[in-house]
Amino acid sequence: MALQPAAGARDLNPREVERQRRLCERLAEVYRHWGYQEVAPPSIERIDTLEAGGAIAGREVVRLVADAPLGLRPELTASIARAASTRMAHRPRPLRLWASGTTFRAFLGDGGDWRISENLQSGVELLGERSDAADMELMHLLLTAVSKLGLEPSHQPTLLVGHHALLGALLEVVPEPHRHLARERITAFDALGLDALPIPEPSLGRLRALLRLRGEPAMVLYQLEQWLGRLPLLNRLESLLKSVEPLASKGGVRLQLDPTFQPHFDLYDGLVFKLVCQGRDAPVAIASGGRYDRLMGRFCDDPSLAAGTGFGFSIAALQELLAPESAPGSEAGPWLVAAAEHTLLPAALARMAALHAQGQAAELCGRACPSQEDAQRWAEERGCRGAIWLG
């Protein structure tokens, strides 16, 4: 008999489940205040939807044994984009949607064996809006949600911001046949691999400098302007970052412009961002997102509506980052209602019903409890907030 969960999976105890639920509820409250409506995309999708036109590597999709090519979703965006362009195609744009659910990814373990990881995610999608206002809204919504999570200054939250087109403009100094490989090596911070490319030295020198270019937005924008001139894209990035700077500063979030940053999944073709915090032992990414107009174009017949931007929080990463006592909505356990003898169980159940009617959690002690002291001791052993004893 198997005594351990599958490799890459984990069991959650009741307290962990409760903490994850409260984190999702706190985020959902923010989403609703901003006018977002909840959807529930399926866990199972066609492989061509999950791979998002090659944006997600097929080896990372957990495939199912079925007559049709099906798999488990590695993220939520592609499924929501498909549903928005089919079943919700008649609804006026922009669509503001949010969802939470478990995602699954296949990965190669340290021993060379394939494993499956599962992660609870919560996030939003803003669909059908091409303007910069959508990107600005998403960044403000992200920072508002972060302010409700109970992060501490010791977490040192940093919001990394990049742009797919910006990196493309910087790579124009590279001969066309080598641009794709140069992009891969820059985003992987592979300095040795970059030096091995057959690129003229002046261009290679700029790419080496690009590997080190990240930090305070004004400083990075100044250097980019020296290289590229005053591109309209730089003006748009400057306006975006200036608009979110007060909110980020208020929440203790450091803004960092990183022209080389690209997310793990190649879904995005515009603005990209990732929120990173300092964990106990290493940095922890708790949220990421960006603009994915090209992905929407795969599902949407109207080019003018083929636009999307969104982000997702990793609930498991948040749970590990936040101490139990600092997690939003954390509170003591239920009351333990105990009775001195079994004939008093109906009265104990009535007392529980009264507590429930007041919105308080209470659980029943099914065995006879000799005294108030015993009831209190049993309550402490079970993690209850206290005991109510009927003698």
Per-residue pLDDT tens for 298-334?
888 888 889 999 999 999 999 989 866 444 444 568 9
Q: What are phi and psi of 72, to 5 degrees?
A: -90, 140
Distance, CA of 94 to CA of 134 (rounded, Å):
9
Where in the chain are the domains?
Answer: 14-326, 335-390
Distance, CA of 391 to CA of 372 (rounded, Å):
8
- pLDDT at residue 329, as a whole number: 46
Contact call for residues 285 and 314 (beta carbons, < 8 A): yes
Global pTM reads 0.86
Which candidate, 229, 245, 233, 253, places its Cα nearest to that of 163? 233
Looking at the domain 14-326, which fold is it?
A: BirA Bifunctional Protein; domain 2 (3.30.930)
- pLDDT at residue 59, as a whole number: 83
Mean pLDDT score, 355-365? 94
- pLDDT at residue 330, as a whole number: 46
What mean pLDDT is reported for the chain?
90
Contact call for residues 204 and 263 (beta carbons, < 8 A): no
- pLDDT at residue 332, as a whole number: 67
- pLDDT at residue 52, as a whole number: 79
b/e 73-84 (16+ beta carbons within 10 angstroms → b): bbbbbbbbbbbb
Contact call for residues 262 and 187 (beta carbons, < 8 A): yes
b/e 247-285 (16+ beta carbons within 10 angstroms → b): bbeebebebbbbbbbbbebbbbbbbbbbbbbeeeeeebe
Model pLDDT for residues 18-69, shown as the tens digit of each residue = 899 999 999 999 999 999 999 999 999 999 888 877 778 778 888 998 888 9
Distance, CA of 223 to CA of 216 (rounded, Å):
11
Distance, CA of 141 to CA of 158 (rounded, Å):
16
CA dihedral 374, 378, 381, 385 (to 10 degrees): -110
CATH ID of 335-390, from 3.40.50.800, 3.40.50.10170, 3.40.50.2300, 1.10.287.1080: 3.40.50.800
Model pLDDT for residues 136-172, shown as the tens digit of each residue = 999 999 999 999 999 999 999 999 999 999 988 999 9
pLDDT class of 287 with cuts at 50, 70, 90: very high
- pLDDT at residue 109, as a whole number: 73
Model pLDDT for residues 175-230, shown as the tens digit of each residue = 888 888 888 888 888 889 988 888 888 888 899 999 999 999 999 999 999 999 98
Of all helices (H) and strands (E), which one includes residue 75? none
Distance, CA of 137 to CA of 139 (rounded, Å):
6
- Contacts for 155 with CB less than 8 Å, ≥ 6 apart: 277, 278, 279, 321
- Contacts for 169 with CB less than 8 Å, ≥ 6 apart: 228, 231, 233
